[in-house]
Structure 1
């Protein structure tokens, strides 16, 4: 089972959308969380250690993640999808971007 973690700021729109659309992919276990202090679901050390792939929505998330969990990020890639915080949950354009970008990056 390939474990895929999606992160955004508050875990309200982008990362929950990603979790929702990829949760039924055969062979993938998917989870989402937020990096901000006011996130709905906060990313934890256990989440980072669990993941085989970590996808962040913006480069700023990657920086925050690296400063917060540098010792836990080992061999798993941390990939920025460069998706701005301008989409609602399950927005069609957001779904298309995620489907276009993510699958080709997971082996």
Structure 2
């Protein structure tokens, strides 16, 4: 399964999620950002590649829908509600991501 994780700058949250899930069998993980200044900015190719899209905040969902409306279903985006207050691989961030994403992957 191809999982795309999205935050604003692709600096802390989505790269943490990518790091967690790229270690799991059966999951191909990528992380991207929605801002112009993102380390790796989300593209149409990323959207087309993804089978599941996980965004950290509802604003990320809105940006994806605005930019890729024809290529994406609003029901195909999962909002994790994880605020931008953690550093890369912060143990609390890892726990929040896993508790939000794992049940969605089980379905």
The TM-score, its normalising length taken from structure 1, stands at 0.95
Question: Contact (CA 8 Å) 2:32, 2:42: kept in 1 or not?
Answer: yes
CA distance in 1, matches of 2:47, 2:84: 22
Runs of 4+ aligned residues of structure 1 deviating over 3 Å after TM superposition are: none
Shift of 1:76: 6.7
CA distance in 1, matches of 2:63, 2:76: 15
Note the 1:93-104 alignment, pairs <5 A.
Answer: 93-104=92-103
Question: Contact (CA 8 Å) 2:65, 2:74: kept in 1 or not?
Answer: no
* Aligned CA distance change for structure 1 residues 50 and 98 (closer, same or farther; 3 Å): same
Q: Which residue of 2 aligns with 1:40?
A: 39
Which consecutive unaligned segments of at least 5 residues does structure 1 have? none
Note the 1:24-63 alignment, pairs <5 A.
Answer: 24-63=23-62
Question: Contact (CA 8 Å) 1:53, 1:76: kept in 2 or not?
Answer: no
Per the alignment, in what secondary structure is the counterpart of residue 71 of structure 1? helix
Which consecutive unaligned segments of at least 5 residues does structure 2 have? none
Aligned residues: 106
Higher helix share: 2
Shift of 1:103: 1.4
